[in-house]
């Protein structure tokens, strides 16, 4: 049984860790600064990436405590952002239809909107779940 506030899933964290040299698992767990650092340094030259294999359970627990569970699922939002972000599908999932259509027409506002969402998606979902 999942805890009541299990907002992020360890198995998704480990799947994203496989691509961790891009920082994807760190973005997923709400760590955009280190996610960006990992993106530009290929996971701190592979060293940070390997260490994160052991740190994922702690990052998962911190994310579960930090973000609010609700009717929007963080994992679904992250999968949509990761694979369909340029089309704005993740924004439509969150009920942000206007910006979703804008992303669809502009390639995620030329990629910059997608980058913004990588930095802020956990907070956006948490705010919607609180309301």
Supply the pLDDT for residue 75.
94
Look at the chain and report how many structural domains it folds into: 2
Supply the pLDDT for residue 77.
96
Distances from the Cα of 57 to the Cα of 9, 15, 17, 51, 66, angstroms: 9, 13, 12, 12, 14
Supply the pLDDT for residue 19.
80
Supply the pLDDT for residue 3.
55
Burial (CB count <10 Å: 0-12, 13-18, 19+), residue 102: middle
Separation of alpha carbons 32 and 23, rounded Å:
8
In a domain, 1, yes or no: no
Supply the pLDDT for residue 117.
96
- The pLDDT averaged over each successive group of 10 residues in the chain (131 residues) is 76 90 91 94 92 96 95 95 94 98 96 94 96 89
Residue whose pair of structure tokens reads 């009920």 in the numeric block: 95
Same domain flag for 51 and 97 = no
In a domain, 100, yes or no: yes
Supply the pLDDT for residue 10.
96
In a domain, 60, yes or no: yes
Supply the pLDDT for residue 4.
65
Same domain flag for 85 and 53 = no
Residue whose pair of structure tokens reads 């760190």 in the numeric block: 26
State the residue range of the domain holding 81. 74-130
Same domain flag for 32 and 49 = yes
Q: Which residues of 54-93 are buried (b: 16+ CB within 10 A; e: fewer)?
A: ebbeebbeebbeebbbbebebeebbbbbbebbbbbbbbbb
Q: pTM for this structure? A: 0.87
Supply the pLDDT for residue 22.
83
In a domain, 5, yes or no: no
């Amino acid at each position: 049984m999942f805890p009541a506030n299990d907002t992020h899933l360890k198995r998704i964290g480990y799947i994203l860790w496989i691509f961790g040299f891009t920082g994807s698992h760190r973005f997923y767990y709400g760590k955009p600064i280190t996610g960006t650092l990992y993106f530009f340094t290929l996971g701190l030259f592979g060293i940070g990436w390997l260490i994160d294999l052991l740190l994922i359970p702690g990052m998962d627990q911190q994310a579960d405590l930090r973000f609010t569970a609700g009717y929007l699922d963080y994992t679904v939002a992250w999968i949509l952002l990761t694979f369909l972000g340029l089309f704005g599908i993740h924004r439509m999932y969150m009920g942000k239809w206007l910006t979703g259509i804008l992303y669809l027409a502009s390639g995620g506002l030329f990629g910059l909107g997608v980058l913004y969402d990588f930095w802020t998606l956990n907070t956006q979902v948490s705010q919607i779940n609180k309301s």
